Structure 1
Amino acid sequence: MNEERKSAIYLAITQAVMEEIKANQIEVVNDRNSRVPVSISARHVHLEKAHADILFGKDYTFQKYRDISQPGQYACEEQVTIVGPKSEIERVRIVAPLRKQTQVEVSRTDGFTLGLKPPVRHSGDVSGSSPISIIGPKGRIDLEEGCIIADRHIHMSPMDAQTFGVENHQKVQIQVDGEKAGIMGNVTIRVSERYALDMHIDTDDANAFAITGKEYLRLIK
């Protein structure tokens, strides 16, 4: 194939791609500033002080297992059992530090196992969410609400948000390359001085897109 023919083919492909982007009103951020690291968030539990006292004993001190992506937060050595109407799941880690309200984060698959239909929510928004029980070494708590599926989200500092050209609570799309490439939509931007740049997805999303947690994914607005 001669060079002129190759150039014509490349031009046609480029034009087709640009037309597709324009037709779907997708804006691709400059590649230099478009990629975010991703972490896979397995099922876990955040505890408020009163519930920690019941499950582990008064003023119990949780032991760090490993740091997670957000400054000051860590997965604990301590684990609990979460119980739904159908089944239970053992060895679910506590994530510290303690919070104002207890929250259990699971995947949709976990919900099927437990016999629950947790709503997709922002972290901390547990009003009207699924009931669930938690069993620890010292006791048990039965929550009328508190079990959610965390929404796909990206933590950013204000400087990161400026770099990416996005705002707090904005919804964006994420492009995944590789063997199971695709687009993840309804990804929420969360901006705070306390945050480090990182995207959080659950195990269902990770499996669907063959994500290992070592990738940098492209942000699309």
Structure 2
Amino acid sequence: MNQQLIEKIVGEVLEQLEKVEQPLSKDSIPIAVSARHVHLSPLHVEALFGKEYELTKKANLSQLGQFAANETVVIAGPKGSIERVRVLGPARSLTQAEVSLTDAVKLGLNPPLRESGDIEGSGAFTIIGPKGSLFLEEGLIIAQAHIHMTPVDAAHFGVQNDEYVTVETDGVRPMAYRHVKIRVSDKYQLEMHIDTDESNAGFISKGSIGRLIKSSENRIKVQMEVPKVVTKSSEDSIFNYPKKLLSKDDVREVTTKEIILEKGTIITALARDTARELGISISFRK
């Protein structure tokens, strides 16, 4: 058998393997990685690309009616800029840019973790197009991980719109993505969206799937681990925090002015920022 024939056979085998998708079990969620992108209002489309300009379609996205446009923009901050940021269409009522935390560090900005569309009081940034530029007081966010699903999917998984769940993945680096928001609509297709930082952390690639764990199980676990503070505390009182991870939401629930952590507890960057904003000190047990 000659070399050319061998290469042809190998190529055909690889092509068939690429078409084989990992089968979904009853609790499986397809995972997609959402890279940095921008949604523009009609007014801002014209400001950046010219009067009466309309976005042009490059490729359809998995969610019905959504598409990646041919157009790109530059996002800038005090420390740097990111070029060729894809615009997604169609135009929306409000302009919004979604970046990863790594992107935000490069820009020198500190956007909040938000659900897409929740931009009130979010990060300021500059956006530059071929025909103009804009400085926006708000609109820059790090998108919260979420799952799109239809009402039929929601019934299958036993979840509701706006509920939070955990999604676990296997592989080289198994991960548990917590506080993943459920978004239900007839127009959606079942898919979990995470950003590039989250995908890199879990070695997530095209075709990856996760297992959904219902929020009711999480609530029971949290109630067992974190006792509620039911009495009023003085400003000098202390909250002994028992969990191994301190998040922004955990800090907001604390009613004291000092949090004492067990050694080895992980503190997220947003938790530190929130504590600073609320005047709450964080220290470790000696």
TM-score (normalizing by structure 1): 0.85
The aligned runs of 1:1-221 (5 Å cut-off) are 32-221=25-214
TM-score computed with the length of structure 2 as normaliser: 0.66
Report the CA distance between 1:215 and its aligned residue.
1.1
- Which one scores higher on RCO, CA 8 angstroms, separation ≥ 6? 1
For 2:5, the equivalent position in structure 1 comes to none
Identity over the aligned pairs, expressed in percent? 51
What is the distance in 2 between the residues matched to 1:163 and 1:56? 44
The one-letter code sitting in structure 1 at the alignment partner of 2:106 is T
Structure 1 unaligned blocks of 5 or more: 1-30
- Helix, strand or coil: the match of 1:147? strand
In structure 1, distance between residues paired with 2:137 and 2:166:
33
User: Alpha-carbon deviation of 1:32?
Assistant: 3.5
Larger radius of gyration: 2
Q: Deviations over 1:178-212 (max 9, x none)?
A: 00102110100001111111100000000000001
* Code of the aligned partner of 1:181: P
User: Residue deviations 1:20-72, cap 9 Å, x none?
Assistant: xxxxxxxxxxx832011111000000000110000011221222121111111
Query: Residue 19 of structure 1 aligns with which residue?
Result: none
Compute the RMSD of aligned alpha carbons: 1.0
> Matches of 1:90 and 1:182 in 2, distance apart?
31
Q: Aligned equivalents of 1:70 and 1:59: distance in 2? A: 26
SS in 2 for 1:32: coil
Runs of 4+ aligned residues of structure 1 deviating over 2 Å after TM superposition are: none
Consecutive unaligned residues of structure 2, counting only runs of 5 or more, are: 1-23, 215-286
